[in-house]
Amino acid sequence: MNTSAADKNDKHKTKMQKQKQRIDSQIEKNSLEKGVMIFLTGDGKGKTSSAFGMVLRALGYNHKVGVVQFIKGQQLSGEELYLKNKLPDVQFYQMGTGFTWDTQDRSSDIEAAEKTWSVAQRMLKDNTLDLVILDEITYMLSFKYLDPDTIINSIKGRPFGQSVVVTGRGGGSRLKEIADTVSEVKEIKHAYNNGIKARKGVDY
Amino acid sequence: MNTSAADKNDKHKTKMQKQKQRIDSQIEKNSLEKGVMIFLTGDGKGKTSSAFGMVLRALGYNHKVGVVQFIKGQQLSGEELYLKNKLPDVQFYQMGTGFTWDTQDRSSDIEAAEKTWSVAQRMLKDNTLDLVILDEITYMLSFKYLDPDTIINSIKGRPFGQSVVVTGRGGGSRLKEIADTVSEVKEIKHAYNNGIKARKGVDY
């Protein structure tokens, strides 16, 4: 090794030692062990898939998981197939109506939303569940299909150790307030706007 | 139903019919069926979990998947456990060195990065794989552990039907250019900064 490379390695080591100190001291400070509420919002791709990644992560520890999807296309999705065929232990409920622009029927949408919410509400009271996913529930708020107070209170009143992941692009200002972690997924670009067909196993 | 509610429902129906027309016409225009490259960047929580959500989605269709993780903590992760124990058919390789601030050793990091990249490169040539995940590879670029041209060319030269998901916060300006879809995951807030311990099955 020449001197310049050795020098680079030394500098790297010092810098990394400092970074490790910073990270370790933050880890040490963080002592509160509780279920977290995560809110994934924004217009970009990756919110629902991120929620399902956490399902997989939780299942790695044999945690118990419940998933409620508040909206779905008429197309079958990969996550739906996987949950139904491979993960019978995951509690899974889907509002079976298609997108609201498919149904075009407000009162049947509201009825379906309320039925779906009652499943979610039961999960949010179930202290055997480690993780609950409320996928696309924000649409139910922006369309005023469900009462925000009821949802906020149910999430806040969930069992102490239970984590909740909420996804959806609009209608989430109050969800932001009560969340421990909020990520906004911004669309920088999307294949969809470039003539590329939605891709099975990636987009749905 | 009173007049006002009926009126609301009618308005809703008209609005949704228009929205459906817009969406359907975009779907019709999109005819190019090819594997996509998705780049998930930004400082917020949800990039790796989103990639793993797409793994689950792809497996729903019995697609073949390869996953390479370029960085890992010394802690075991839920996704690692799940892949190893439940998904032996997924090709999975992990750079087994810990974070670069844990190793503090630049030359051994580079060696590990190169070895890991050779696995990724093989996957990017394998036309039996429908989906390849390159998790946290951007760190290898920002630390200058790997050559960006080689990575860009391998991704661009992959089999036509193969999709690639690349994650990581920094070092991705050239990846952005070649990606079909780019989402920037912005941290709005994070439990971590509020004294809450990283949560098993959610954060790792």
* Structure tokens that stand for B17 in this block: 């019919």
Contacts of A2 (CB under 8 A, 6+ apart): none
> Could you tell me if B21 and B63 lie in one domain?
no
| Ordered DSSP codes for B47-69 | HHHHHHHHHHHHHHTT--EEEEE
Q: Compare all CA atoms of chain A with the CA of B58 and give the residue at the minimum distance.
A: A201
pLDDT of residue A27: 75
> Could you tell me if B70 and B167 lie in one domain?
yes
pLDDT of residue B123: 98
Taking CA atoms, B38 is separated from A36, A46, B55, B93, B109, in Å, by 28, 10, 13, 20, 26
Residue B93: inside a domain: yes
> Could you tell me if B84 and B51 lie in one domain?
yes
User: Which of A36, A46, A165 faces B196 most closely, judged by CB atoms?
Assistant: A36
Residue A204: inside a domain: no
Which residues form the domain of B152?
Answer: 32-194
> Could you tell me if B187 and B92 lie in one domain?
yes
Residue A202: inside a domain: no
Taking CA atoms, B23 is separated from A45, A101, B17, B28, B40, in Å, by 16, 9, 10, 9, 24
> Could you tell me if A20 and A74 lie in one domain?
no
> Could you tell me if B46 and B112 lie in one domain?
yes
Answer positive or negative: Cα dihedral of A200, A191, B143, B146: positive
pTM equals 0.87
User: Using CA atoms, how far apart are residues B75 and A71, in angstroms rounded to an integer?
Assistant: 36
Buried b (16+ CB within 10 A) or exposed e, A107-134: eebbebbeebbebbbebbeeeebbbbbb
Would you tell me the crossing angle of helices B47-60 and B78-86 to the nearest 10 degrees?
Answer: 20
- Let me know the angle formed at the C-alpha of B195 by B190 and B200, rounded to the nearest 5 degrees: 70
The mean pLDDT value of chain A amounts to 90
- Spatial contact of B60 and A48, defined as CB atoms under 8 Å apart: no
User: Using CA atoms, how far apart are residues B78 and A55, in angstroms rounded to an integer?
Assistant: 9
**pLDDT tens across A101-128, in order?**
777 788 888 999 999 999 999 999 999 9
Residue B204: inside a domain: no
User: Using CA atoms, how far apart are residues A140 and B202, in angstroms rounded to an integer?
Assistant: 25
What CATH number has the domain bearing residue A89? 3.40.50.300
Residue B203: inside a domain: no
User: Using CA atoms, how far apart are residues A107 and B199, in angstroms rounded to an integer?
Assistant: 40
> Could you tell me if B24 and B36 lie in one domain?
no
Tens of each residue's pLDDT in chain A, 204 residues: 566 778 888 888 888 888 888 878 777 777 777 899 999 999 999 999 999 999 999 999 999 999 999 986 667 799 999 999 999 999 999 987 766 677 778 888 899 999 999 999 999 999 999 999 999 999 999 989 999 999 999 999 999 999 999 999 987 889 999 999 999 999 999 998 888 888 899 988
User: Using CA atoms, how far apart are residues A191 and B180, in angstroms rounded to an integer?
Assistant: 5
Q: With contacts defined as CB-CB under 8 Å, which chain B residues touch A189?
A: 179-182
> Could you tell me if B1 and B41 lie in one domain?
no
Do the chains contact at A202 and B29, CB–CB below 8 Å?
no
User: Which of B54, B107, B187 faces A49 most closely, judged by CB atoms?
Assistant: B54
> Could you tell me if B6 and B44 lie in one domain?
no
| pLDDT band (50, 70, 90) for residue B52 | very high
A residues 37..76 contacting B (CB < 8 A): 38, 40, 42, 44-61, 63
Q: Compare all CA atoms of chain A with the CA of B132 and give the residue at the minimum distance.
A: A202
Residue A201: inside a domain: no
Complex ipTM more than 0.95, yes or no: no
Q: With contacts defined as CB-CB under 8 Å, which chain B residues touch A27?
A: 198
Contacts of B136 (CB under 8 A, 6+ apart): B48, B69, B70, B71, B167, B168
B189 at A interface, C-beta within 8 A: yes
Q: Where are any strands of DSSP class E within A2-102?
A: 37-41, 65-69, 91-94
CB–CB contacts below 8 A, A to B: 286
B31 pLDDT above the threshold of 80: no
Q: With contacts defined as CB-CB under 8 Å, which chain A residues touch B12?
A: 104, 106
| pLDDT band (50, 70, 90) for residue B106 | confident
User: Which of A49, A59, A105 faces B57 most closely, judged by CB atoms?
Assistant: A49
Give how many domains chain A has, as a whole number. 2
Residue A200: inside a domain: no
> Could you tell me if A100 and A131 lie in one domain?
yes
**Amino acid in position B41:** T
> Could you tell me if A22 and A111 lie in one domain?
no
- Spatial contact of A58 and A184, defined as CB atoms under 8 Å apart: no
Ramachandran angles phi, psi of A188, nearest 5°: -90, -45
Taking CA atoms, A53 is separated from A94, B91, B137, in Å, by 18, 17, 18
Q: With contacts defined as CB-CB under 8 Å, which chain A residues touch B63?
A: 200-201
Q: With contacts defined as CB-CB under 8 Å, which chain A residues touch B191?
A: 36, 38, 180-181
Beta bridge partners of B65: B131
Q: Please give, rounded to a whole number of angstroms, the shortest distance from the CA of A9 to a CA of chain B.
A: 6
> Could you tell me if B15 and B102 lie in one domain?
no
Q: With contacts defined as CB-CB under 8 Å, which chain A residues touch B29?
A: 195
- Let me know the angle formed at the C-alpha of B86 by B130 and A54, rounded to the nearest 5 degrees: 75
Taking CA atoms, B128 is separated from A79, A191, B5, in Å, by 21, 23, 55
- Tell me which residue of B56, B185, B46, B131 sits closest to A67, measured CA to CA: B56
